[in-house]
Amino acid sequence: MLRIALPLALMLAASPALAAEDISRVNGGIEVSAGSQMGDLSTVNGGIRIGDDASFEDASTVNGGIRAGDRIQGQDLTTVNGGIELGERAVVDSLTTVNGRIKAGPGLRANDGVDSVSGSIFIDRGGHVDGNVSTVSGGIGLVATEVTGNVETVSGDVTVGIDSHVHGSLRVRKSSGVSWISFGTTRTPRIVIGPNAVVDGELDFEHEVELYVHETARTGAISGATAVPFSTRRAPRD
C-alpha cells in the first residue's frame, strides 16, 4: 500500500491543475479578481488590474499601468510606459517603472527596492522598503516610511516626511555624461527632511539643491548644501 500511495501523492503534488495560472498576451489588459492565486501576469499593450487579497508572481506591462487593491502579494511589478498604484498593506519584492508614477498606500512592504526613471514615487504611512528608493528625474515622497537602503535621485524633489527613517544615505547625483536629462528643466531640486524624520547616513549633494531640515529631524553629515532649519509642519517656500 505504501508503494502505491507515495507515487500517487507525488503525482498529485506535481499536477498542472494545481499550478497557479500564468496569463500572457500582446494586446489587451489583464483582470485578476479579488482573492485569486495567479502565476506570472504579462502584457505588452494593456493595463493590469488586480483585486483585493489576490496573490501572484511577476506582473509586467510595456504600455499600460498596474493597479492593485488592498493586501495583495506579488513579486516584481514592472511597467515601462505606465504607473503603478497599490492599495493598503501590499507585499511585493520590487516596484519598477520607466515613465510613470509609483503610488503605494499605507503599509507597503517592498523587499527589493522601489525604482523609477522619470516618474515620481510616493509611499504612504507604515511603508517598509528593504533596499533603495531611487529616481532619475521624478520626485520622491515618504510618509512614516522606513527605508533600509539609500534614497537617490538626479533631479527630482525629495521629501523624507514626518516620522520616516532612512537607514542609508540621501544622495542627489550629477547626471552622468550627455543624456536627455541634460536637456530638460534646470530647476533646482527641493529636498525636505520633515518632522521627526531620520536619515542615518550622509546627505550628499553633487549639484545645487534647496535643503530644508526640520528642527526635530536627525541626519548624518551634510555635504554640498547648507541646510535651512524650520520648525513648522511644512517647509517654507521661497
pLDDT of residue 148: 98
The CA angle 44-65-87, to the nearest 5 degrees, is 140
CA–CA separation, 155 and 190 (whole Å): 9
Chain position carrying cell 520607466 = 98
Chain position carrying cell 516584481 = 76
CA–CA separation, 215 and 211 (whole Å): 13
CA–CA separation, 202 and 180 (whole Å): 28
> Is 0.85 topped by the overall pTM?
yes
What is the grid cell recorded at 2?
505504501
Chain position carrying cell 500582446 = 26
Where along the chain do the CATH 2.160.20 domains lie?
Answer: 18-100
Report which of 41, 35, 68, 38 is spatially closest to residue 53, judged by C-alpha positions.
35
Q: Which residues in the chain land under pLDDT 50?
A: 1-2, 4, 8, 10-12, 14-17, 178-185
Q: Quick: pLDDT tens for 161-181.
A: 999 999 999 999 998 754 444
**Domain range 18-100, CATH architecture:** 3 Solenoid (2.160)
